[in-house]
Amino acid sequence: MQTNQPPFGVLLVNLGTPAAPTKTAVRAFLKQFLSDPRVVDVNRVLWWCILNGIILNIRPGKVAKLYQSIWWQEGSPLMVISRKQQQALQNQLLSRTGLDIPVELGMSYGEPSLDSGLKALEAKGVKNVLVLPLYPQYSCSTVASVVDGVAAMLKSRRNLPELRFVRDYHDKKGYIAALAQSVKQHWQQHGQSQKLLLSFHGVPERYVNEGDPYRDHCYKTAELLAQELALTTEQWMVCFQSRFGKEPWLTPYTDETLESLPKQGVKSVDIISPAFAADCLETLEEISIGGKETFLHAGGESYRFVPCLNDDEHHMAFLADLALQHAQGWS
Distance of CA 159 to the CA centre of its chain: 31
Angle between helices 56-70 and 23-34 (to 10 degrees): 120
Q: What distance in Å separates the CA atoms of residue 276 and residue 7, rounded to the nearest whole number?
A: 29
Q: Are 153 and 118 in contact (CB under 8 A)?
A: yes
Annotated binding residues for Fe(2+), as ranges? Answer: 201, 282
Separation between Cα atoms, residue 200 and residue 238, nearest integer Å: 7
**pLDDT attached to residue 3:** 54
Of 103, 60, 101, 106, the closest CA to residue 79 belongs to 106
Q: Encode pLDDT of 95-104 as tens digits.
A: 999 999 999 9
pTM over 0.85: yes
What's the Cα-to-Cα distance from 180 to each of 165, 198, 312, rounded to whole Å?
A: 26, 12, 12
pLDDT digits (tens, 9 = 90+) for 81-122: 999 999 999 999 999 999 999 999 999 999 999 999 999 999
Q: Extract the annotated binding site.
A: 201, 282
Percent of the chain surpassing pLDDT 90: 96
Domain ranges of the chain: 173-306
In sign, the C-alpha dihedral spanning 323, 325, 330, 331 is positive
CATH level 2 (architecture), domain 173-306: 3-Layer(aba) Sandwich (3.40)
